[in-house]
Amino acid sequence: MNKTAIKNFAIWARQELIASVKKRAKEYEIEKDNIKPAIEATIQGKLLSLEEKRQRQILIEKIEKDGFDETVEEVAYTWFNRFVAIRFMEVNGYLPSHIRVFSSENGDFSPEILTECLNIDMNGLDQTKVLELYQAADKEALFRYLFITQCNALSDILPGMFEEISDYTELLLPTGLLKDESVLHSLVVDIPEEDFKEQVQIIGWMYQYYNTEPKDEVFSRPKSKKINKEDIPAVTQLFTPDWIVKYMVENSLGRLWLEGHPNESIQENWRYYIAEAEQEPQVEEKLKEIRKEYELIEPVDIKCIDPSIGSGHITCYLFDVLIQIYESYGYRSRDAAKLIIENNIYGLDIDERARQLAYFSVMMKARQYDRRFLSRKDSPQPKIYAIDESNLFITENGKYALDYFIDGRPELSEAIHSIVNDMIDAKEYGSIIDVKQVDFKILYDRFDELINGNPDMYSMFLIESLLPLVKQAEILSQKYDVVVTNPPYMGGSGMNKKLSKYVKDNYKDSKSDLFAVFIEKWNDMIKPYGFNAMVTMQSWMFLSSYEKFRKKVIENMTISNLMHMDNMVMRIAFGTAVTVFRNMRLDGFKGTYNHIKLEDIIEDERTKEDRPKEFPVQGNRFAKISTENFKNIPGMSIAYWASDSILDAFEHGVILKTEGDTRQGMATSDNNRFLRLWQEVDFNKTGIGFQNSNVAKESKKKWFPYNKGGEFRKWYGNIDYLINYENDGKEVKDLAAHKYKSYTRTIKSISEYYKKCLSWSKISSGSIAFRFYPEGFIFDVAGCCIFYKKDEYMLYDFALLNSNVSKYIFSMISPTLNYETGHIASLPVIRNNSNKYNISEIIFQNISLAMSDWDMHETSWDFEKSPLLANKQDGLLSSAYESYKEEINTRFATLKANEEELNRIFIEIYGLEDELTPEVSDKDITVSKIFDNKKDIYEEIKGNKYILTKEDVIKNFLSYFIGCSLGRYSLDEDGLIYAGGEFDPNKYTKFPADEDGIIPFTDKEYFEDDVLVRLRNFLKITFGEETVNENLDFIASVLKGKASDNSTEKIRAYFMNDFYKEHVKKYKKRPIYWLADSGKLGSSRNLIYMHRYQKDTIARLRIRYLFEIQDRYKQELEHLEKQIESASSDKVTYQKQANRLKKLILETEKYEEKVQHFADASLAIDLDDGVKENYAKFKDILAKI
C-alpha cells in the first residue's frame, strides 16, 4: 500500500474539496460574511428552480445553525467519503450494476458509467433525462446526474453510508469532476487499484490523513485553549497498524475461543497469537474450570465491541477471526457473515464521519464473504453508532415528546428517564459515559407500537430521534466477552472543562489521560473471564500519576498479554503498549510479555505495511510472569523484564530515601524576570559558595547560583544560571504569594537551599545523569536534588546512581525519561562495606576530572586562562595543542575506566552478571575528547556533545584572546578580571586591554587597535616574537578561507564573518560581546564588551570608528578614480574596486544615520536586565541574533 500517495491525496483532496464547495456556494451568492436572503428567486441573473430554491434555503438555515466553515467542512467530507467508498466498491466489483463509476474497465480515468449510461438499470434513474443529456453531449451534467443517482441507489443497500441526497449537499457537489485536475482524477490515477482490492484498511488511512491539517491546527493553538468536542475526532484519530490489530484480536477473541475449542489449524493462521505460559499446578486447575465453561460457548454467543471504532479497522479483523471461528464450528462463510453482524459485532464512536466509514468497512467485509449480502432483502445492518446525546429530551418540547412515548406507564417512564439522564452531554464524553441497565424489552415493544400504529408526527420524531438513543444506551450498558480498541489519547490538560470534570468525578484513578479512562471503563464492561485488549500509551505502566490505577488493575484483573513498543514503532513519538486485560483475579497466573523495538520493524514485501521482522523478536525482552511480581517494585511499575536479582534487590535492599532526601526545587513563575546566565550580570553582585540563607542574605548580593538541570552530563557541571534571590528571595516569593496566596506552593524545599547535594535533570532526552553540586546553590523544579547528612552515603550512592545498574533499574521504574523525585527515592541500595573506600576514591577523582573539564571553558566562572597557555611547551601553538590534546584524552580515558570499574563493582554487588556488562560507550562519557579533524571521529563516540576538534580548540583560544583584548581576562593574573563595576586599566600591564572596550573587525588594517595587530602582539607576548608567523599559520590552518588567502586574510575573514556567530552560540544566544554591524557588506563591524558599555560608547564608536572608516573608504576611492583616469590597462579591475567602495560608503552613511540616533540618546543599560532586554534596545545597529 502506497501510504505516501494516499496521504498526499487525502490532504490535497480536503483542500480542493473545501475550495470547490465554497466556490459552488458562491455561485448561489452564499459566502461566509455575505449571504443573499433565502427568499430570492433569482441568483446572479439565473432563475432558480423550485428544487434549487428549497435546497438553498436549507443550506442557509444550516449555516445559521452550525456556521459557514463547519457546513463547508461537512459537505466536503461527505463527498470525499462517497468518492472513496464508490471507488472501493467499483475496484472490488461490489457495485450492484457492476458498472464502474469513475474509471473504465482497464482502470483509466474514463467513467464506464458514461459509456454505458443508456444500458444501466438503476433505482431512481430517469432514462429520459439520461437520453436528453446524452444527446446534448453534456458529459459533465450527465456524469453529475448519474453519480448522484448512483449514490441515492446505494442508500437502499447501504443506508448507513449513502443517505439519499436531496438537499444542499447535492447543491454543493463540486463542478469539473471529469477534468484532469479534479479530485476524482487524482483518486483514480494517483492511488494504485491494488491498494483498494479487498484492503478495507485503506479507508482508515484515508480518514487519518484527511484529518492531518485539522489535527495540526488544533495542536498549533495555545496550550491554554482546550480541545472542544468537535475537535476530538481529528486530534485523537490514530490508525492502528495491521499487525498490531492482529495481535490484539488474536490474543483476545482468538484466545477466548481456543480455550474452549482448541484448534491447531486456526491457531496456525494467527501469526501474532502467543501461546499461554506454562502455569503452576494450582493455577492450571482453576484455568481448567474456566475452559469447561468456554466449551459451552457457541460462536453466536460471543459479543465483541470496539468502543472507539474509528474507521472500523479493528472490527474488520474481528470479523475475519469470527468467520474462521464460525467455519471451524461448521458454518458456511456466507451464513456466518449475516450472523456476525446480527450477534457478534458492536461499535461506537464520537464522530459521525468515522461511524460511516466503520459501517461501510463492515458491510464490505460481509460482502467479501457473501457475494449476495448487499442484494439480500434480509441482510442485517451493523450495530455501529455515532454516540448521540439526550439533551434534546430535557427541553420543553423534548419532555412533551417523552410524555407521549411514556403514555402514562410508570415502567416506561423509569426506563426512558434513566437513559435520558445518563446520556446528557454524551457527545462530550463518548464511550466512557456510564449508562445503567434498564428493561430494554419494554422500550422496544413501545417503539413497535408506534411503528405499527400509523405513525403520526410525534411517533416519527420518536422513531427517528429516541430509538437510536435507546439502541446506543443498550450497547453502552451491556457486558461483552471481548473489547478491542485503540482509544483516544488526550491528557487532562487538553480536555475541555466539561469533559475534565466528568473524568475527575467518575475516573479518579485514571483521570490523567483519556486512554487510561477507557481502560478503566471498559475493564468494567467485560463479562467474567472476558478480555479487554487496548493499544495505549505506555505511561500508565510507569508514571506515578497512574499508581492507584495500576494497583486496581493488579488487584482486580489479570494481564493475559502485554506487548511493549518503543517510540515510533506505531509511527508516533512516544512508547506504546498493547495490553490484554482479563476480568479475573487469579493469583500466580503468568501473563506473557514481549518487547518490540523500532529497529525490529520492517516493510512487508507483499503488503508494503509495517510489521516485525519476526514475532516474538528473539533477543528482546520476553517474560512469562505473574502480576504479583509488580507489587515488589516501587509504584507497582509494570517492569515485566525485572529479573529475580532485581526483584530481590527491591525486596531486601534499602531504598535510597532512607539516607538521601530527594527534593524538587522551585518554580520561579517568571524565568525571564528572575533567571540569568551567569555571564550576563555584574559579577560583583553574584554570591558564590554561601553555606546558608542567613549568610547569603547578609552579603547583600543579588544573584546566586541556580541549578536548573540541563543536558546529559555526569559528575560535575551544568553550572550556567543565576537567580535573583536578593534579600532571601523577597521578590520571587512576593510574586508567588501574589499568584498562589502562599509562596511555598512554588518556592519549594527552602530549607535545603545552599547545601551540597547530588542532582539530576528531571526531564532527559536519553539516559539519566547525576552531578555533584557544592555549597551555594538554589535549585529548580527541573534540577532535582538529593541531600545527605553523611558524606559516606552520598559518595556511595553517587557511584551507584551513575552506574549502569541504576540505569537498568530506573528503566523499570521510569522508562518514560521523566525522572521524578519518587522514582529516584525508590532506588534499592545494597550497601557493601568492603568496596566503600575504593568507591570513594574513584568518586573523588571523577568529580575532579569533570570539574577540570568544565572549568577549562570560558563559560565557567572558575575558568582561569586558555588551556593552550597552560600547556605551553615551547614557542609553538602546535606544541601546546598536542600537549593539551594528550591531557584531555587522558582525562577522557581515565574517566571511562573509572566508570567501567564502578559498573563492575555494582554488577557484582547486585548479582547482575548475566544481565549487564560494565562497558560504557564513548558517546556517554561526558568530558571532552579532542580530534584533529572531524573525519577522525569514530562511530562509537558520535553523538557525544563534548567532542572537540583542533578547530574548536583554536577558536576557543581566539575567543580568549578577544576576552583579553576587551578586558574580561588579563595575562597578568588568572580568572575573570572584569565583568562589571569599576574598570581598572592597571590590571592589564602585559597586554593592555582596549582603551574603550571596542575592537574593529575590518578586512584591512585601518586602525591602531586592529584585531590582527592585537593578535600578533598577543602571540608575541604569550609564545614569543620569533614564532608569531608560524603560530598565525597554525591558527589559519584550521579556518575556512579561499585557497589564495594567506594566513592573515583567513584570520581576518574569520573575525569578520564567523567569530560572532560562534560567540552567540557559545553563550546560548546571550552574547556578552556585541557586534555593531552596518549590514550585509560589513562596511563597519565593531565588537563591544557589554560590561564595559558606557552612555557615550555609541558616540565613541561613531566618531572613532565609523567616521574614520568612512574617510578611509573615501580616500581609497579618490585614489582609485585617479588610477582609472590614468590607467591604460586594468581599468575594469579598478572600476570594480571603485564600485565596491561606493557601496561600502553608501552602507556606512545609512548606518551612520541610525548610529547617530543612539549616540545622541546616550542610552544607559542595567546589567541586571540581562542580555535579551539590553540587546533589544540597540537592535537596529547590532547584528541580528
pLDDT in tens, 185-209: 999 999 988 888 867 778 878 887 8
pLDDT in the model for residue 809? 93
Report the alpha-carbon distance of residue 935 to residue 844 in Å, rounded: 34
Q: How many CA atoms lie within 13 A of 534 on its CB side?
A: 27
pLDDT in the model for residue 47? 83
Over 616-647, what HEC string results? CCCCCCEEEEEHHHHHHCHHHCCCCCCCHHHH
User: Residue 365's pLDDT band (boundaries 50, 70, 90)?
Assistant: very high
Q: Nearest-5° angle of CA 537, CA 542, CA 544?
A: 115
Quick: pLDDT tens for 954-973: 999 999 999 999 999 999 99
Counting every residue written for the chain, the total comes to 1185
Average pLDDT, the chain: 92
pLDDT in the model for residue 785? 97
User: Residue 163's pLDDT band (boundaries 50, 70, 90)?
Assistant: confident
Residue 740 · residue 813 · CB < 8 Å? no
pLDDT in the model for residue 746? 95
Report the alpha-carbon distance of residue 649 to residue 639 in Å, rounded: 14
pLDDT in the model for residue 237? 59
Give the count of beta carbons closer than 10 Å to the beta carbon of residue 900: 16
Asked if the peptide bond before residue 616 counts as cis, ω within 30 degrees of 0, the response is: yes
User: Residue 221's pLDDT band (boundaries 50, 70, 90)?
Assistant: low
pLDDT in the model for residue 223? 60
pLDDT in the model for residue 215? 67
Check pLDDT > 70 for residue 1106.
yes
Strand segments, DSSP code E, in 916-967 are 929-931, 947-949
Among the residue ranges 316-320, 338-342, 476-480, 489-493, the one predicted with the least confidence is 489-493
- Which pairs count as long-range contacts for 867-875, CB under 8 Å and 24+ apart, including other chains? 867/953, 867/956, 868/953, 868/957, 869/1022, 872/1022, 872/1023, 875/1023, 875/1024, 875/1026, 875/1027, 875/1031
Check pLDDT > 90 for residue 1031.
yes
Give the count of beta carbons closer than 10 Å to the beta carbon of residue 791: 11
pLDDT in the model for residue 171? 84
Nearest to 753 by CA among 713, 732, 780, 731: 780
Residue 844 vs residue 156, higher pLDDT: 844
Which residue type, as a one-letter code, is found at position 389? E
User: Residue 20's pLDDT band (boundaries 50, 70, 90)?
Assistant: very high
Among the residue ranges 71-80, 858-867, 1170-1179, the one predicted with the least confidence is 71-80
User: Residue 844's pLDDT band (boundaries 50, 70, 90)?
Assistant: very high
Indicate the SS3 state at residue 208. helix
Quick: pLDDT tens for 373-389: 998 888 999 999 999 99
pLDDT in the model for residue 194? 87
Report the alpha-carbon distance of residue 862 to residue 247 in Å, rounded: 58
pLDDT in the model for residue 880? 97
Q: What is the mean pLDDT of the segment spanning 1014-1026? A: 97
Indicate the SS3 state at residue 483. strand
Residue 535 · residue 240 · CB < 8 Å? yes
pLDDT in the model for residue 765? 64
Q: What is the mean pLDDT of the segment spanning 82-107? A: 91
User: Residue 833's pLDDT band (boundaries 50, 70, 90)?
Assistant: confident
Per-residue b or e along 670-686, where b marks 16 or more CB atoms closer than 10 Å to that residue's CB: eeeebbbbbbbbebebb
Among all chains, which residue has been given the C-alpha cell 566508570?
899
Check pLDDT > 70 for residue 314.
yes
Phi, psi (degrees; rounded to nearest 5) at 391:
-55, -35
Q: What percent of the chain has pLDDT over 70?
A: 97
Phi, psi (degrees; rounded to nearest 5) at 626:
-90, 150
Pairing outcome for strands 42-43 and 46-47: antiparallel
pLDDT in the model for residue 49? 84
Check pLDDT > 90 for residue 813.
no
Among the residue ranges 168-182, 331-345, 556-570, 924-938, the one predicted with the least confidence is 168-182
Written as nine digits, the cell of 920 is 560504557
User: Residue 634's pLDDT band (boundaries 50, 70, 90)?
Assistant: confident
pLDDT in the model for residue 62? 87
Check pLDDT > 90 for residue 160.
no
Nearest to 796 by CA among 985, 585, 654: 654
Residue 597 vs residue 763, higher pLDDT: 597
Written as nine digits, the cell of 202 is 485503506
Estimate to the nearest angstrom the gap between the alpha carbon of 216 and the chain centroid: 12
Quick: pLDDT tens for 423-479: 999 999 999 999 999 999 999 999 999 999 888 888 899 999 999 999 999 999 999
Residue 233 vs residue 983, higher pLDDT: 983
User: Residue 43's pLDDT band (boundaries 50, 70, 90)?
Assistant: confident
pLDDT in the model for residue 236? 57
pLDDT in the model for residue 232? 62
Phi, psi (degrees; rounded to nearest 5) at 1076:
-75, 115
pLDDT in the model for residue 457? 84
pLDDT in the model for residue 229? 59
Quick: pLDDT tens for 1119-1161: 998 888 887 778 888 899 999 999 999 999 999 999 999 999 9
Check pLDDT > 60 for residue 147.
yes
Q: What is the mean pLDDT of the segment spanning 326-351? A: 96
Residue 660 · residue 752 · CB < 8 Å? no
Q: What is the mean pLDDT of the segment spanning 577-596? A: 95
Quick: pLDDT tens for 523-542: 999 999 999 999 999 999 98
Phi, psi (degrees; rounded to nearest 5) at 1011:
-65, -35
pLDDT in the model for residue 167? 74
Quick: pLDDT tens for 860-878: 999 999 999 999 999 999 9
Q: Residue 774 is inside which H or E element, if any?
A: none
Report the alpha-carbon distance of residue 43 to residue 1023 in Å, rounded: 89
Domains of the chain: 3-197 (no CATH), 390-424+438-477 (no CATH), 654-831 (3.90.220.10), 1058-1185 (no CATH)
The overall pTM is greater than 0.75:
yes
Residue 760 · residue 769 · CB < 8 Å? yes
Check pLDDT > 70 for residue 840.
yes
